[in-house]
Every structure is written in C-alpha cells, then in structure tokens.
Amino acid sequence: MQPPADAIERAAQLSDALHAHGHRYYVLDAPTVPDAEYDRLFSALQALERAYPSLKTADSPTQRVGASPLTSFAQVTHQVPMLSIRTETDTSAEGAKAFDLRIRKELDIPPDAPPVDYAVELKFDGLAMSLRYEEGVLVCAATRGDGAVGEDVTANIRTVGQVPLRLPPGAPSVLEVRGEIYMARPDFERLNERQLQAGQKLFANPRNAAAGTVRQLDSGIASSRPLRFFAYSLALMQGRDVPPPARTHYDSLERLRGWGFPVCAWTRVVSGADGLVHFHNDVNAARDTLGFDIDGVVYKVNALDLQRQLGFVSREPRWAVAHKYPAQEALTTVEGIDIQVGRTGKLTPVAKLSPVFVGGVTVTNATLHNEDEARRKDVRVGDTVVVRRAGDVIPEIVSIVPERRPPGAEAFLMPRQCPVCHSVALRFEDEADYRCTGGLVCGAQRKEAITHFASRKAMDIEGLGDKLVELLVDTNRVKDLSDLYRLRAEDLARLPRMAEKSAQNVIHALEASKQAQLPRFLFGLGIRHVGEATAKALVRHFGGLDAIMDAPEEALLAVDDVGPVVALSLRTFFDQPSQRDMVRQLRELGLHWQESEPQASRESLALNGLTLVLTGTLPTLSRDEAKALLEAQGAKVAGSVSKKTSYVVAGAEAGSKLEKAQALGVAVLDEAGLMALLAGNP
C-alpha cells in the first residue's frame, strides 16, 4: 500500500528526531529528552512502518536489530587494508623519545629545528572495525581479519548506538571510517552480573566480551550487550561532496566529529618528544578513571604530507607507533591451587587468589601453566605473591615474597589422576604438560573427543559436527560414545534448528558407521600419539582389536611406527577398565569391523621401503583410496618430494610436486603405472 503524504512526512520527522536524540545520548552523552519520550517516538515510528512497510529504510532507527539470525559471516575485502601499528617495546619515557628521534632522523630534521607535531590517542583494548557508508547510509561493518580480508558483521554493529546509521548532508557519497568497538568497565560488570544470575558463562574481560558479541550470529543477542565505539581514522573518501584534503590527521578526526562519529576526548596534538612523554604520563595516571580498558597510547605524525613522505615498512606505517605501559602489579595471597582439565586433556594448575584489583580488573585466578613452571616459581598455598596482568590482559604470578611464607607450606605436586574422571594423568617424554588419558570417558574432554571420533578421517559420521556435538553434550543427551548409538531421530528432531530430515540423516550416518574399518576406529578413540599411520600399522601387525588391547609394551614396540612413548600411551589407555568397558559397550551396540591375520612385520610386504608422493587427480582412484592401497603393501606415502622419493604418482592438474620430481629425476607414474606397481609389475 502506498503511504499517504502525511505518513511519509511524519515518518521522516520521527526518524530525524530519533537520530538526533540518539547522537546526543550515545555520542555526546548529553541527552535532551527522557527515556520515556524517546521510547514514545520510537514506538510511533514502528507503528507507521508496520502500517506502511515501504517506509522502513536501511538507516531507520528501528533497524538497529535484525530480525533473523545469520548462519555465517560473509567475507569482506578491505578496499584500504587495515594495517597494524608497530609496538614500542620500551615502556618508559625513553620509548616516546626514541620514536621522536626516529621520525626526525627519517625526515632529516636537524636538532635545532622546531619540534614535530604529533596526534596522540589512546590505544583502546577492543576490536578494530571498518565502517563503510554509501550515499550517507551504513552499508558494511567489517572486522580487521588478516588486514586484507575481514568478516561482515554489519547486523551486529547496527545495534551499537554510537555508530551512525545515517550521515548528515554534505558527507562524501563513499566514506570508510576506522575505529574500535569496546565495552566500558561498568557495562562489562553489569553484563557479567546478568550472566551469573542466568547461570551462564562469565566473560574474562571487556575485550573478550566485546569480541564475542561482535561475532554473534544473532544480532538480537548483540543488541542486549552494551558495545560502544570510538573512531580513530578516516580511511577513504570518494564520489560526490568530497571536501578538500585535510592537512593533518587531527583535522580529519574533527571532520569525523562533524559527521556524527564519536572521537575520544583524550585525542589531542602535542609537540616533540616532551609532548609525547607528558601525554604518556598523564594517561598512565588517569588509567583507572577512564571507565574503559586501554593497553597503551598511540603516537602519529600529525601532518599528512609528512606521513606520506615517511611511508611504510613491512606493512606498518613508519609515522605511527603504539607505546604501551609496564604491566601493572599487586600483592595478594594464594588460597589454593586447582587443576583445570582442558578440552584436549591438558592438566593446568591454576592459583586461586584472594581478590585483588590489578590492571583495571579484579583478579582471582592466575595460571601456573604446568608443574615445571609452578616449581620454578615455587608457588605454594598460603604464599604472598606478586601478580601482574601480562600485556594488561593475562593474569600471572611474577614471584613469591619468601619472607611472608607461612610455616608448613607444602611444595606443589601435580596429581597423577585426572580430577574430573580419575583416569591416569601422564607426562610424556619431552613434554611439559600432564594429560588425562581418559579421552572419551572424561567429561572435560567429551566434546573434543566425540568430535574427533566422528571426523572424516576417523568414523566419518556425516552431520555430527562440533555444533551438534556441543548441543548433545550440553543437554546431557550424550555422556559417552555408547549414547551416540542409542540416539533416535525423534531425540535429535527436538533440538533447536534440527529439521526432521537432518535428524534422520545423522541416525543413518551413525548406523552406517557401525561397519567400521578397524584402523579408523582405533584412530577415532583419540589415544595420544596414535595417528592414522600408527593405527594402520597396529592393525596390520596384530590383525584384530583384542590383540592390540592385550599386547604388552614389548610386543607393541615390535610394530613399525611405534616407539616407547606410543607403546606407553597405548598400554595406559587400554589398561583402564573404563576404556575397555567403552569398547565392550560399542561392540554390544553393533559396531564391528573386519579383522585379518596378523602380519609379523612390514618386511614381507611388496612395497616395503618405498616412499611415494601423490599429486593431482587420478582417473578412478581418490587420494585416500590410492594411499590406502600403497600403505597396505608397506609403502610410505609422503607429502613432499625429495631425493629419497621412490616414485611420484601424478594425475590431472599435477602442480609443483610433479615439477620438482622431474627436476630431481624421480620416476613418475600415472594411475596405470601405480596399479602395475601394486601388482608387482613396475
């Protein structure tokens, strides 16, 4: 329905008023109407847009929150790369002086010449963001990514009140602005309080909370979290209404202010090394009162013609530097040392600390990394310790205060059992970490272990990806592998975003996986140090699973590819009753595989001692099929060509590997030649 003229006019008035009120509230921090009045205007515009959908535009204040969650983020190629800035490692005042000295040297400025002017800014601890506007409307917000390509997070950035959805008249028709998405400390504390009350995971710090929010696929979630924005550079202006080039970086920031972007009030211009030092000291003194986290300050040569003259080195501008601060430290006491078990089974000692405010946050935990590190620092329960937020982010214990150690404090000893599943914890040769050997039976490792079991190179259970595994584990539908094979299609269909057909497909894939290849099953168990090649060697040598499970270490060491570390890992895994019970249950649920006569060694195999490399696409065999045929005859299949390569098997579109084989004089086979080699007729 075509809206009447008065509706069009009223919608435009409401939109203009809401944009103006939003700018005064979010950017200027000087609201002129109470929240109730803003809500009344917002509701009136919503009602008009519902009645006349054609009035709903991309820059409407009602469109800050999208309606439907995304399935993934699209990639965005930055028209102007988002480059990084070099960090000055000297955190003292000398770091500022060193930067000024480098600039003067690069510009060949004599010592008695006037000082260089610098634009100085805060180095926000958030997430870099690029905003692109076309015809005055925000069309894309993209993360830095690798500097050349980022992710399109426009739907989430629309929810940030400080980001203009529409620019005022007179702005260039194409404009790209760079800045930082961050979360203020009071907002972060309130968000974590909400998370705690809802029984949800707490965020470690404001930066993690901001980054996690920006990458939410559902902009409704993003809108519920209090993100903010500061602009710090003008990257691109094109098209109509492009003003004359600015002379200085600071002038370009003033233009951004005029177009409605928030620019930090700490941004200013100073002269020479003394100005840099004073700014560094002033910000350091005020850090705890800023209301948001920073990890340093940034100095930029202010004159844009001098920036162009200085240019870049290794994709970093010569005309800018990030100057950080010494990590902040504080004293506290160690109340206990807990053991955390990671998704891959790594056991990490974590010191539980009396709460202490350091680096802008309250710290209650500090990782000790591993047993060697804990002993090196000699951290004990009851100790008074110096805590530092390394890089202003990660809490660490720098040292103990020996004279404050309480009598009877005992040295830390890493437990030899997993605190989650009580399986044996092992530290393998040449490794710093203890690891739980429970794997699939350990609650801490369950998601990672099941995802590995279902992966393409293991049991290849199509549809059972990490998202579904996470959902199944979090809802307690799957506690171990046997639960997978007890699932029903109707159980899966009840899960969020799981269609009935998709559920049925997963059940079919689980059923098909029961006819397993033994090497895939053995690899899928996730035994430490047992990869695909080792699993195949074990099956070739012993023939069946029971023989592998019962083999003593001496027998395991007779297998090619099995050394003392692998033999110990296998023996430890299968000596645990929980692992054997898991295998028994899987067999009872119908998992079976073809077993064969054991082969004493690979020496009797036709291709033993040969190394082959596969490249290109073969006419009838897949890469995996060709590899399996070769390995079954004792050959080793390598990933790169060298003088030790026996043959290169080349198919269509063979690339650099074929060229290298020809250069080295390595024999090249096609698929027919491969089959002849396998048949004993090279």
Active site residues: 123
Rounded CA gap, 663 and 641, in Å?
10
- Largest interatomic CA distance in the chain: 91
Rounded CA gap, 198 and 47, in Å?
32
SS3 (DSSP) at 346: strand
Instruction: Residue 88: name the closest of 80, 79, 96 by CA.
Output: 96
164: left (phi over 0), alpha (psi -120 to 50) or beta: beta
Contact 294, 208 (CB under 8 A): no
The 3 state secondary structure assigned to 43-77 is: HHHHHHHHHCHHHCCCCCHHHHCCCCCCCCCCEEE
Beta bridge mates, 212 = none
Instruction: Residue 229: name the closest of 169, 168, 137, 153 by CA.
Output: 153
CA dihedral of residues 482, 484, 489, 494 (deg, nearest 10): 120
SS3 (DSSP) at 268: strand
- The CA R_g of the chain, rounded to the nearest whole Å, is 31
Phi then psi for 290, rounded to 5 degrees?
-70, -35
Rounded CA gap, 672 and 69, in Å?
51
Rounded CA gap, 55 and 60, in Å?
9
Name every residue whose Cβ is closer than 8 Å to that of residue 232 and which is 6 or more positions away in sequence. Answer: 121, 124, 178, 179, 180, 253, 263, 264, 267, 298
Which residue spans within 581-622 are E strands per DSSP? 592-593, 611-615
Contact 522, 539 (CB under 8 A): yes
Interior angle at CA 186, CA 42 and CA 224, nearest 5: 40
Interior angle at CA 670, CA 621 and CA 519, nearest 5: 40
Count of CA atoms in the C-beta half-sphere (13 A) of 277: 11
| Residue 643 buriedness (CB in 10 A; 0-12 / 13-18 / 19+) | exposed
Q: Which two tokens stand for residue 604?
A: 């009797």
Task: Transcribe 506-537 into DSSP letters.
Answer: HHHHHHHHTEE-HHHHHHHTT-TT--HHHHHH
Instruction: Residue 440: name the closest of 482, 485, 486 by CA.
Output: 482
Q: At what angle do helices 623-632 and 671-678 cross, to 10 degrees?
A: 20
Is the torsion defined by CA of 31, 34, 35, 37 positive or negative?
Answer: negative
Residue ranges in 385-497 assigned as alpha helix (H): 446-454, 466-474, 481-484, 489-493
Instruction: Residue 469: name the closest of 458, 453, 489, 457 by CA.
Output: 453
Rounded CA gap, 390 and 328, in Å?
8
576: left (phi over 0), alpha (psi -120 to 50) or beta: beta
